[in-house]
Structure formats: C-alpha cells, structure tokens
Structure 1
C-alpha cells in the first residue's frame, strides 16, 4: 500500500471528508434512536405495556453491539468508505420498512437488523478519519463527526415526536427513513475513497489476539469502561426524565417535554470545544474535567425546580459529549495498528453500557424514586472518573503523576516510533 499525504485543513479533500462524516453521524443516530420519543404511540398501536415498548429502542442498540462485534473481525477486509455508504443506504431502507410493520415482533426484528447494519458505519468511521486526516486537525474532524451524531440524535427524536403527534409513528418512521436515504446517497457520491488503507484478508486468530491486547492494556480498557459508564449514565437520564416532567410535580405537556432533546445542541458545542482544545492540550486531562462536569450537572437534577432541571441537563449533555469525544480520540490515536478492532471494541462497550445501565436504572427509578436514581447515575460517573485517573496516571520514581497523558501502547505502535516521541506528537 502506498501511503498518500493525509487531508489537511482548508483543502477540498478535508472539507469533503468533514462534511460527509458529519452527514453519516446525522443519519446513524437519527435512525438508531428514532422510536425513543414515540414509545407511548407504540403502546397504543400494538396494545403493549410501556416496558415492552422500550424494546423498540433497546433491540436497535443490541443490534448495533452485535454488529460491532462481527465487524471487529471483518472490517479490515472491507473498503472503509464503501462499507459506510452501503450501511447508510441499507439501514435507511430498513427504517422505511419499519413504518409498515404490522405487528410488534416484526418491528423488533427490523430494528435489530437496522442496528446491526448501522454498526458498519460506527465500526470504521474513527479509523477512516485517523487514516485519512492530518494529525494537526484530527481532533476537529472527530468532533465534527460526533457532532453529527449529536445533531442526528436530537433531530430524530424531535422530528419523530412532532410527526407522530401530527399524524402517527408510522409517518414519522417513513419520513426519517426517506431523509436518511437521501443522506446516504449523498454520502456515497461525495465521500473520498480510502487512500491510506488497503483491504486485507483477516486472520481471525490474529484479530482475537489484537482484541486481547487492547483489553489487557490499561489505557484502552479504561477508555472502553469510561465509554460504557458515561453513556449508561447519559442515556438513563434522557430515558426517564420525561416521566418526572410529565408528572404532577411539573405537569408539562408531551410536546413541550419533547423539546428537552433540543439540549443536544449543547452536546454539539461540547464536542467542538473539546475537539479543538485536544489539538493543543492533553485529551486525558480534558476527559477528567468533562466527567467532573457531568457529575455537577447531575447534582442539579436533584433540585426539583424547572430551572435547575434544564440547567443540569444542559451541563450534563455538554459534558457527556466532551467526554465521549476525548475517550474516542484517545482510543483511535493510540491504536496505531488494528484500528478498526480498537474502535469496534470502543463502540461495543459504549452500546453495551447504554443497554445495561438504561434498563438497570429504570428498575431503580421504579423501586426507589427519582433521588436514588440520580445518585446511582452520579455513582456511575464517579466510577468512570476514577477509571480515567487509573488509566492515565504514571509513576516517575518519586511520585504519581495523576493528570498525565495516557500511556502509549508500544506493542501496537509502529516499531519505528518510540512511546515518548509518539506521546509528544499527540499533545
């Protein structure tokens, strides 16, 4: 493989990569969480309980996790840009098809397949960016991609709520599926081909070994666990906050409660701000600060006043996407080889945390109330913070350096790069 010059800022290639990856993130998350604000509609349409209706969301994330596990072994044998393009178009077709599901089990099957197909984008997106974009702007490129995720998650939820309110959930699913199909076609037509990657046959035994080495290194395992815990905390709040806002304590109407998803705009700001800062400052320090800020936002949710709930939610959202951007950057940059395996493992933990914590915290909310629920979510973030500290601290012979850069995994790096030099290059 002949390595070409990577895309630099202000070049046409960089602009195309930036814009296309933003659109891919927009499409993926608009589809993935499409049904979250429409669970009550599904209860009425299929005559099911709220607990059963939540499966419409959880099976999509389970499908995403399952797909990521498969792509951890297969992604490096497939063209990166083609895999993402096919995944975007095929998932859009499944979203359109879900609008015509005549029973709930069929809807669950379609949503599972949709999540599995969408994993084709998440499995290689960060690897594609780190291979094709110059190191001086990799933080900006990753933050823009994750901003697309943020805007997509927000737009899918808000659009789904409004359309289902004006008509029903089927028209909402159809509209979002068609819009996503258009985005997928634009992506295929415009995305620059992978210049610094050549598909290769996959040795399953070697891939298992690569994954094992990632899981045995404290830097990578730490970031995987941080992603799981932070995502679990974040999703838990957005899953169940509407129950409090619609209760007698606040009495807000459904269409007003749906606007809480507009808080995702603070997540866009969080991704962009920390993405730019990470090109100058330590991503590890920014990650720790973001997790502390998440805990601060969660504490405000204990104050049963609308102003405190809104402020806390905004801080939480800003901080979560900041933390997510930093953790994913640390993984994608430190993994000098087998990048798709590293990023697939990251997303696998990310969605596993969403599924497990999202369900567990619902049980806690039902059994023990809002305050206990919030304290449990704070505990998840606290554990994530201590893991981030443990995964980046070093001993220099006299004292522990707590806010150091994460150690570079020299066994997975190019042999001609020394860990100390690599660390300096990524500051």
Structure 2
C-alpha cells in the first residue's frame, strides 16, 4: 500500500463529505413535504411515507451488488456514476403527477444512491490507510447529517410556499452543486486492486463478512437504529402541524435544524471511539437516543425540540461508531461486502422500520410509537453488549486479518 499523503487524505475527506451531503439530501427529499404530498394525493401518513421507504429499500437491495461491482470497475467510477444517475432522477421527480410512478422512480433513485453509500466506507479505509478511521468516518457521517439537515430544511421551507414540487426541486438543485464538486475533487483510488466480476469473490467476501459474529452488533445497530430514526422524522411533521401544536409547515421545517447536533456528535464520537473504545461510546449513543425519545413525549414544543436534538445527537454518534467499526474490523478481502451489508441493514431498517413505525403512530399515537422505538434501541444495545463480551479468539483472528 502506498504511503498516506495528508493533503490527499484531506481532499478525500472533503469530497466524500460533499458526496454524503448530496446523497442524503436526495435520499430524504420528500420527507419535509410529506404532509403536502399526503394532502395533494389524499394519502394517510403511512402511505405517504412510502416515498421515503421506497428509496431506502432500493438502496438496501442494491447495496451488495453495487458494492461488489466496485471491486471490478473501481470505487471512484462506481460512486460517481451512482450519484449522477440519482441527481438526474432528483431533477425529474418534481414533474411526475402520479403517486405510484413517484414511488417506482424513488425506488430506482435509491438503488442508484447505493453505489455511493455502499462503497464509501471501503474507499475511505483503503485510500486513507485505515489511519484514524473513527475520525475519518465521523467526518463522512457529518456530511450525511449536513445533507439531511440542509435538504430537509430547504425542502420544507420552499415547499411551504411552492408546494412539494418546488421543495423537491430545490433539494435536487442543492444536491447537484455538491455532486459537481464531488466529481471534481474525488481522487482516483491508488490502493484498490480491481478484480474480475465472478461469483467466487462475492461469495467468499460475503462469507467472511458474515463469519465474524462481532460484526453483527453494528449491523443490528444500523437496522434498528435507522428504523427508529426514520420513523421519528417521518412522523414528526404530522404531529407538530396538527392540534394542539398547529405549527405552520415552514416553521415545522426548522425542526430539521436538529441535524446540526448529529454533525457535531458524529465527529466527536468517532474521536472518542478511537480513544475510549467503540462499545462504550456506542452504548452511550443509544442511551442518549432513548433519552431524547422520552423527552419528546411532552406536549410542549420547546421540550419536543430539545428532545429531538438529544435524540438526533445520540443516533448519529452511534451510527458513526458502528459504521467505522465495520470498516476497521472487516478483513481486507471482505471489506467491500461488509460495508455493503452494513448499508443493507441500515437502509433495510429504514424501509421496514419507517413503515412499521408510521403504522404504530397511526394505531397507538406518539406514546405507543415511542414504546416500540425504545424497545428497538434496547435490542440494539443488547447486541452491542454481547459483541463486547465476544471470545478473545475471534477478536484476535479478525484483527490479524485487518
């Protein structure tokens, strides 16, 4: 492996931060305008949320194939083509007049986005030499939080005046600017040896990625944590714009400023994990997320916002550490597949959890939904605790491969 050039590493980090910003802005573009979409198409909250779940389902399904394809065609080429296709679809979506067609196109857009989401961790681990992986992944996840916050905020504010069409178009234009910069700045890989496409590397890589029981902990955190997260943000607009709070949609969009907490905590958590250990920081992040959910049970807007900030900060801290854990622990031969499996769990959890959580909100209200979401976080924490107590023999074996 070539020596690590600090200037090149900084350039990679900036490029991937911009790519993550574009990715998350596009992925969740409909979320801030779900109430307007539900009104225009005469939908209930759970059905409207299919526009979010469809894209994350497409991402989950395509993550492993595209992560494997990057082994043959190159990491950079895969990520660039994926983001360009997703951006083109993002510009087309606001002009689609039929909800079923919107859902199908969002499914395709999510599948395209997988080419960046599933490959970024492997690219970072290879091109930065694995040095300070916690810090590097923290910066990448910070880009996802900035994209999520900026896209949702812009879409919500514009959508209040220009309808959901204008809101989604504004997000696509923002993502387009980030995509151009991403293409210009991202260096070609130096440390990845391309492999011919065949079933054998795919199956052997998957076996290796699935063969380490410790990796099941970050997979579990990804699936359940993201299910909780997307549920809260899908449903929040419906809750605070309805009685008794009756917050105007343009002001309700300001709730997405809570993403700023994730930008800070994802970076800090990565550094903390490098210093104090992953499991300790990861369990703390999950506990903080649960505390935020409990605070949001209040019927006072200020307390709800504080709870949302706490919840968001805790979630992104946990996600940053869990994703970095996968990149640092997976063996070199399985790093692409392990990263893809993490993304499969993450966005599969978003798709399934978003639908189940929205259904729970419709059936049991915010309180009943909160009980369900806290249970999901508790199961994830148990998985992390079990991984913490994994036999030393497994730890030594996998560490020697990394």
Partner residue in 2 for 1:5: 3
Partner residue in 2 for 1:417: none
1:366-381 to structure 2, matched below 5 A, reads 366-381=362-377
Residue of structure 2 aligned with 1:22, choices 1, 17, 21: 17
**Residue 364 (str. 1) matches residue 360 (str. 2):** yes
Deviation at residue 205 of structure 1 after TM alignment: 3.3
Partner residue in 2 for 1:408: 395
Deviation at residue 63 of structure 1 after TM alignment: 1.0
1:247-286 to structure 2, matched below 5 A, reads 247-286=242-281
Query: Which has the larger share of helix?
Result: 2
Partner residue in 2 for 1:400: none
Question: Judging changes above 3 Å, is the alpha-carbon distance between structure 1 residues 345 and 413 closer, same or farther for their aligned structure 2 residues?
Answer: farther
1:65-80 to structure 2, matched below 5 A, reads 65-80=60-75
Partner SS, residue 6 of structure 1: coil
Give the Cα separation in 1 of the matches to 2:349 and 2:50: 16
Partner SS, residue 252 of structure 1: coil
Runs of 4+ residues deviating >6 angstroms: none
Give the Cα separation in 2 of the matches to 1:79 and 1:213: 21
Partner SS, residue 168 of structure 1: helix
Output one character per residue of 1:377-409: Cα deviation in whole Å (capped at 9) or x when no partner.
Answer: 11111111111000121468xxxxxxxxx9537
Greater mean deviation of Cα atoms: 339-348 or 358-367: 358-367
Give the Cα separation in 1 of the matches to 2:243 and 2:108: 38
Partner residue in 2 for 1:41: 36
Max radius of gyration: which structure? 1
| Corresponding residue pairs, total | 401
Residue of structure 1 aligned with 2:79, choices 84, 94, 100: 84
Partner SS, residue 408 of structure 1: helix
Partner residue in 2 for 1:221: 216
Deviation at residue 412 of structure 1 after TM alignment: 8.2
Q: Decide whether the 8 Å contact of 1:334 with 1:409 is kept in 2.
A: no
Question: Judging changes above 3 Å, is the alpha-carbon distance between structure 1 residues 68 and 395 closer, same or farther for their aligned structure 2 residues?
Answer: closer
1:110-149 to structure 2, matched below 5 A, reads 110-149=105-144
Give the Cα separation in 2 of the matches to 1:151 and 1:411: 33
Q: Decide whether the 8 Å contact of 1:217 with 1:409 is kept in 2.
A: no
Greater mean deviation of Cα atoms: 95-104 or 387-396: 387-396
Question: Judging changes above 3 Å, is the alpha-carbon distance between structure 1 residues 385 and 141 closer, same or farther for their aligned structure 2 residues?
Answer: same
Q: Decide whether the 8 Å contact of 2:38 with 2:48 is kept in 1.
A: yes
Greater mean deviation of Cα atoms: 348-357 or 246-255: 246-255
Residue of structure 2 aligned with 1:343, choices 339, 346, 362: 339
Give the Cα separation in 2 of the matches to 1:191 and 1:368: 47
Partner residue in 1 for 2:300: 305
Deviation at residue 413 of structure 1 after TM alignment: 4.8
Residue of structure 1 aligned with 2:348, choices 333, 352, 360: 352
1:167-178 to structure 2, matched below 5 A, reads 167-178=162-173
Question: Judging changes above 3 Å, is the alpha-carbon distance between structure 1 residues 317 and 284 closer, same or farther for their aligned structure 2 residues?
Answer: same
Question: Judging changes above 3 Å, is the alpha-carbon distance between structure 1 residues 105 and 202 closer, same or farther for their aligned structure 2 residues?
Answer: same
Q: Decide whether the 8 Å contact of 1:64 with 1:117 is kept in 2.
A: yes
Greater mean deviation of Cα atoms: 123-132 or 301-310: 301-310
Output one character per residue of 1:226-267: Cα deviation in whole Å (capped at 9) or x when no partner.
Answer: 111111111111121233322323222222221111100000
Deviation at residue 48 of structure 1 after TM alignment: 4.4
RMSD: 2.0
Question: Judging changes above 3 Å, is the alpha-carbon distance between structure 1 residues 303 and 181 closer, same or farther for their aligned structure 2 residues?
Answer: closer
Q: Decide whether the 8 Å contact of 2:330 with 2:338 is kept in 1.
A: yes
Give the Cα separation in 2 of the matches to 1:165 and 1:303: 26
Q: Decide whether the 8 Å contact of 2:49 with 2:354 is kept in 1.
A: no
Partner residue in 2 for 1:191: 186
Residue of structure 1 aligned with 2:327, choices 308, 326, 332: 332
Partner SS, residue 95 of structure 2: coil
Consecutive unaligned residues of structure 1, counting only runs of 5 or more, are: 397-405, 415-421, 423-427
Give the Cα separation in 1 of the matches to 2:239 and 2:48: 19
Partner residue in 2 for 1:403: none
Higher relative contact order (CA 8 A, sep 6+): 2
Output one character per residue of 1:204-226: Cα deviation in whole Å (capped at 9) or x when no partner.
Answer: 13422332332242211121011
Q: Decide whether the 8 Å contact of 1:6 with 1:131 is kept in 2.
A: no
Partner residue in 1 for 2:198: 203
